[in-house]
Amino acid sequence: MSTTTIPSSVTPPPCPRKTLAELLHELGDIPAHRVRLYPYPGTATEADAVRVTNTEGACELVNGTLVEKAMGAPESFLASLLIQFLGPFVRVNKLGMTTVPDGMYRMLRGNIREPDVSFTRKERLVRPLPQVVGWCPDLCVEILSPDNSRTEIATKRGEYFSSGCQLVWEIDVRTRMVTVYTDPTTSTFLTEADTLDGGTVLPGFTLSLAELFAAFDDVNRPTP
């Protein structure tokens, strides 16, 4: 299967705003502390997103505005655990590429998104890999943070699927649930008693959620 690379020249049209509230609503009703004021909201470029991510921490480009990733230590740790299960399966079977939270992907309308964990099949890879990848992964994983709003995650999920993604996992460490999407609105809810699988995107991959969350608890369990 060939990959259609999304050109970096694709940018959203300017959107005039009157208030900060309008900006935050446009970005998915996110908290103000995640919005970068420089470059001025609405004027940031892909190059700005690369610079900030490389020097100051993961930052997405959303409608010309730099938005800091909402990921604390618990979410980052869970992402690292997931990649420890997913990565070896992909590598041993030579299936493609996995990335972690600062992997940068260009969406169809020019936004730059950074899934917390992702997988792209080898048939879709373009070599050598660019700094900003011009396609959306086949699998995108979001580890939900208290600073993520439902609107933000739903918007991001819609961008993933419209840009070529086939599978999205949204993991909530507080409720210990995983929501599996095969399109923007069709979902399956899994609990700690269930097994997560790769479906048609990663045939043969399975992960006991009890095992995943037990590994998380080994480090994150409160001290008696």
One domain, residues 99 and 159: yes
**CA 204 → CA 25, 61, 106, 141, 196, distances in Å?**
40, 34, 28, 18, 11
Is 3 a residue whose pLDDT tops 70?
A: no
pLDDT value at position 1? 43
Q: Read off the pTM.
A: 0.90
Inform me whether the pLDDT recorded for 141 exceeds 70: yes
- For the chain, the average pLDDT equals 91
162, pLDDT greater than 60: yes
Residue 35 DSSP one-character state: B
Q: Are residues 206 and 178 in the same domain?
A: yes
Q: Are residues 36 and 118 in the same domain?
A: no
Residues 50 and 114 in one domain: no
59 with 128, same domain?
Answer: no
Residue 41 placed within a domain:
yes
The total of structural domains in the chain comes to: 2
Per the structure block, which two tokens stand in for 187? 């979902």
Residues 79 and 64 in one domain: no
Do 64 and 98 have their domain in common?
no
Residues 143 and 51 grouped into a single domain: no
> Domain boundary residue among 68, 98, 125?
68
CA 109, 111, 116, 118 torsion: positive or negative?
positive
Tell me, yes or no, whether 127 and 177 share the same domain: yes
pLDDT of residue 7: 60
Domain hosting 58: range is: 20-68
